[in-house]
Structure 1
Amino acid sequence: MEGTDTRADRTEEAPGSGPRPAPARPPLGRVPLWIKIPGVLLTLAAVLLLGTRLFLIPGLDGLFGTEAKDRTGPAVLKSLQDMSSYEAASGNFQVVVDLEKDARFLPDAIRGTRTLYVGAGTVGGSVALGGLGKDDVTVNEDRTAATVRLPHATLGRPALDPDRSYAVSKQRGLLDRLGDFFSDNPNDERAVQQLAARHIGEAAKDSGLTARAEKNTTSMLQGLLRSLGFKDVTVTYK
Structure 2
Amino acid sequence: MPTLLSSRPVPDVRTAPRPRRRVPLRLLAAGAGLAVLVPVGMKVASWLPDEPFGQEVVDRSTTPLVLALQDLHEYHAATGTFQVVVDRELDTRYVPAVISGERVEFLATGTADASVDFTGLDAGRVALSADGTSATIELPAPRVGEVRIDPEQSHVLDRDRGLVERLGDALGDNPVDDSELYALAEDRLAAAAEESDLRERAETNTRAMLTGLARSLGVDEVEVSFAEPDGSAG
TM-score over 0.5 for the pair: yes
2:152 paired residue number? 163
| Distance (whole Å) between structure 1 residues aligned to residue 215 and residue 159 of structure 2 | 57
The aligned length equals 157
Q: Kindly tell me: are residues 183 and 220 of structure 1, through their superposed partners in 2, closer, same or farther at Cα, counting changes over 3 Å? A: farther
1:39 paired residue number? none
| Distance (whole Å) between structure 1 residues aligned to residue 136 and residue 182 of structure 2 | 43
Instruction: Kindly indicate whether residue 106 of structure 2 is the aligned counterpart of residue 117 of structure 1.
Output: yes
**1:175 deviation in Å?**
2.2
**1:220 deviation in Å?**
0.2
1:193 paired residue number? 182
Query: What are the ranges of 5 or more consecutive residues in structure 1 without an aligned counterpart?
Result: 1-81
Which residue identity does 1:95 align to in structure 2? V
TM-score, scaled to structure 2: 0.63
**1:185 deviation in Å?**
4.1
Query: What are the ranges of 5 or more consecutive residues in structure 2 without an aligned counterpart?
Result: 1-70, 228-234
**1:114 deviation in Å?**
0.3
- Look up the SS of the partner of 1:176 in the other structure: helix
2:6 paired residue number? none
Q: Kindly tell me: are residues 95 and 146 of structure 1, through their superposed partners in 2, closer, same or farther at Cα, counting changes over 3 Å? A: same
Of all paired residues, the percent bearing the same amino acid is: 43
1:40 paired residue number? none
Task: After superposing the two structures, state which structure 1 stretch, 100-109 or 174-183, moved more.
Answer: 174-183
**1:206 deviation in Å?**
1.7
- Look up the SS of the partner of 1:141 in the other structure: coil
- Asked if the contact 2:99–2:164 (Cα under 8 Å) also holds between the matched residues in 1, the reply is yes
1:222 paired residue number? 211
1:152 paired residue number? 141
Tell me which protein shows more helix as a share of its residues. Answer: 2
How do residues 175-194 of structure 1 correspond to structure 2 at under 5 angstroms? 175-181=164-170, 185-194=174-183
| Distance (whole Å) between structure 2 residues aligned to residue 206 and residue 118 of structure 1 | 19
- Look up the SS of the partner of 1:114 in the other structure: strand
| Distance (whole Å) between structure 2 residues aligned to residue 138 and residue 185 of structure 1 | 62
Instruction: Kindly indicate whether residue 197 of structure 2 is the aligned counterpart of residue 208 of structure 1.
Output: yes
| Distance (whole Å) between structure 1 residues aligned to residue 131 and residue 102 of structure 2 | 70
1:176-195 CA distance string (max 9 Å, x none): 22333465542211111111
TM-score, scaled to structure 1: 0.62
> What is the RMSD of the two structures over their aligned residues, measured on CA atoms?
1.8
Q: Kindly tell me: are residues 134 and 107 of structure 1, through their superposed partners in 2, closer, same or farther at Cα, counting changes over 3 Å? A: same
Which residue identity does 1:121 align to in structure 2? G
1:237 paired residue number? 226
1:186-225 CA distance string (max 9 Å, x none): 2211111111121111111121101100110111011101
| Distance (whole Å) between structure 2 residues aligned to residue 138 and residue 206 of structure 1 | 33
Instruction: Kindly indicate whether residue 79 of structure 2 is the aligned counterpart of residue 97 of structure 1.
Output: no
| Distance (whole Å) between structure 2 residues aligned to residue 83 and residue 186 of structure 1 | 45
* Match among 157, 161, 170 for residue 172 of structure 1: 161
| Distance (whole Å) between structure 1 residues aligned to residue 87 and residue 75 of structure 2 | 35
Which residue identity does 1:136 align to in structure 2? R
Q: Kindly tell me: are residues 198 and 139 of structure 1, through their superposed partners in 2, closer, same or farther at Cα, counting changes over 3 Å? A: same
- Asked if the contact 2:147–2:190 (Cα under 8 Å) also holds between the matched residues in 1, the reply is yes
- Look up the SS of the partner of 2:116 in the other structure: strand
1:84 paired residue number? 73
| Distance (whole Å) between structure 1 residues aligned to residue 169 and residue 182 of structure 2 | 18
1:73 paired residue number? none
| Distance (whole Å) between structure 2 residues aligned to residue 182 and residue 136 of structure 1 | 66
- Asked if the contact 2:102–2:159 (Cα under 8 Å) also holds between the matched residues in 1, the reply is yes
